Structure 1
Amino acid sequence: MGYAFTPEDVEFLQSAAGAAALAEVDELALTTSTRLADIGRARSRFGSRVAMLVETVLLRRKASVKLPGSEHWLFTDDALQQATPRAVAAHRATRLAERNVHDVTCSIGAELAAVIGTANTVVGSDIDPVRLLMARHNVPAAAIVRADALVPCTRDTVVLADPARRSGGRRTHDPAALEPPLPDLIDAYRGRDLAVKCAPGLDFDRLDWEGEVEVVSLDGGVREACLWSAGLSGAGVTRRASVLDSGGAVWTVTDAEDDDIPERAPGEWIVDPDGAVVRAGLVRHYAARHGLWQLDPRIAYLTGDSVPAGVRGFRILEQVKYSEKSLRQELARHDCGAAEILVRGVDVDPAVLRPKLKLRGSRSLSVVITRIGRSGVAFICAPPREYLSTTGC
């Protein structure tokens, strides 16, 4: 659960004495092997304040990748876990450029720090007094007030919200179990421009939502979904996948695009679309953009005779009807000694299957196990590579 900060703790950490104490504790390694001894040394210097000092130093170190530039920020453990990665927050901020924005669940200010560079006016509010004090420290240029997210306190602003996704200490995908409950939040701001950050696994079908659902991935991992009200959505768009990388590249695909793809036998390559494309239900739209088609209409693997730029492609060497025996024989024939195993649409556990294949060869290969129609199939493929074609994503 992490250390429970108090307002008095935050006041001390912001003082000159607190900054000096943090700098001294930050000189300690605080690794698994040294932590007990390091904490003992720190306790001899700072007494009862050692817990908050060590916690702050460790959280700052943890935040350095997720929130670059936050070296002097204050955090709670829960707030840092839920904070939006800087690249994702910056992507959202571009859609809020030149608007007046009110973050009604501002927490320690991670979203505020991003939108303050693009929006006209930025207001942050939260019900937690400790997080509000931290937000004022972290983003001093924003106007910070204490308010209940379900009680509107600004007008003519885009409302930005990030409901807490834990219930009883466990993650939840039930919209009504968020804090504040997502249906209540939507009702409170009905008719207003509203953007709500959500977990990508949220059950969107349980929502009365007429705007856009954007699923965002960063560096190959799906990070979040964002609900955009109709006034903030693209024309005719109800689903969007946005694929980001830490280098600043961004591409998107939406359900306003064509999704007409052919039904054909497997091509030369298998393509596993980015998780944001799959989660947003835009596999066919992505395929149509790149001249690909599906191995099976109900399976997200794509196939074609080329691979889009920046995407891993698996060049097919052999296709066999799936069984452990036939796959083991074919991999032996291909001199396979190590295999990456990808599975979709069939009940196969790669960790259980791998030792049964008895791989003893000299080549590293990839195996894609899926189904086409009612039949399980296995594709033996060359090791994946990022195909650097001239076609953009």
Structure 2
Amino acid sequence: MRLAVLKERRAGETRVAATPETAKKLAALGCSVAIEAGAGAAAGYPDQLYADAGAEIAPDAEAALFGAGIVLKVRAPLGTGEGEIDELSLIHRGALLIGTLEAIANPERARAIASVGVDACSMELLPRTTRAQSMDVLSSQANLAGYRAVVEGAAAFDRAFPMLMTAAGTIPAANAFIMGAGVAGLQAIATARRLGARVSATDVRPAAKEEIKSLGASYVGYEDEESRAAQTSGGYAKAMSPEFLAKQAEVVAAHIAKQDIVVCTALVQGRRAPILVTEAMVASMKPGSIIVDIASDAGGNCALTRPGEVTVTANGVTILGHTNWPGRIANAASALYARNLLTFLTTFWDKEAQAPKLPEDDDLVRGVTITRNGAVVHPGLA
């Protein structure tokens, strides 16, 4: 079984879907691993490391994909008219494509993959169960995004995070407010606490309140019957009603005016990120305050976020709207992502056939499979 790992060509993507460590382990499964030249360069993995791990270094995408039965990607392959080459057309019919394909938000992408006869698994759709934890790409990448967000927020902040007592006087600790207490938010809380900030946080999900407090942060938020049912069976936050969001905004608005750092992490799978920080809230903040918007890829949680840009408002608030936050810590993010994919393949690997077998009745397989045998099969894309 030939397994190909392509260079990422979508704008701003610095990660890679296999590292030298996982390439060696994939080869041990019985795969012939082909890495497109330069695939790991942006993440700090030069071609020689892959070659030392026993992988073939292919000169281009076409050579890497020639005869490949498995294709690993971080982002979806480029289709017709999307970039320098049409990667999708180079993948062999019947091959298995695994990556974060963002198909729910881009249903036409799933149809394009099905039209070329490629079976595809979109790993961001993996159910959040105990069995799936070691394969959960959203969790591994969000964890690093939450860490990186606080580090970059601290770098942009022109005062100190911890309280500093000096002979010249005392500098008070920064006030950091984390909006959303999923994996990214909890890591942001922990990182801000380690840096010495006074940390508070909010989330619509009922279980989040205790998680926030367990990390030493204070909880801020509005609670009612709707918030008690604000989590899906898969562990994701549900979209909330306009009425609830309005009441939540009243509580949050008074709190945000006193904050130095606001980290926004709230996402709803397959939909635009909810607006949690309004223009009026930004206007109430002190000059020099920082808003870090991890949700910028999905439009942003702040009304003034410009995805991909750093913005300074009229009242001196800096908004970090970088996209692809995991890609800003590409080496570590690639290492975790590659292990997620390796675990998924290993779980469903048939040793005798030396190929993956994905049973259609398995809950994990059913959760991630978007195309099979030339058809779109995921219920979310029906």
Normalising to structure 1: TM-score of the pair? 0.28
Taking CA–CA contacts closer than 8 Å with sequence separation of 6 or more, which of the two structures ends up with the larger relative contact order? 2
Q: 1 or 2, which has the higher helix percentage? A: 2
Q: 1 or 2, which has the higher strand percentage? A: 1
Greater gyration radius: 1
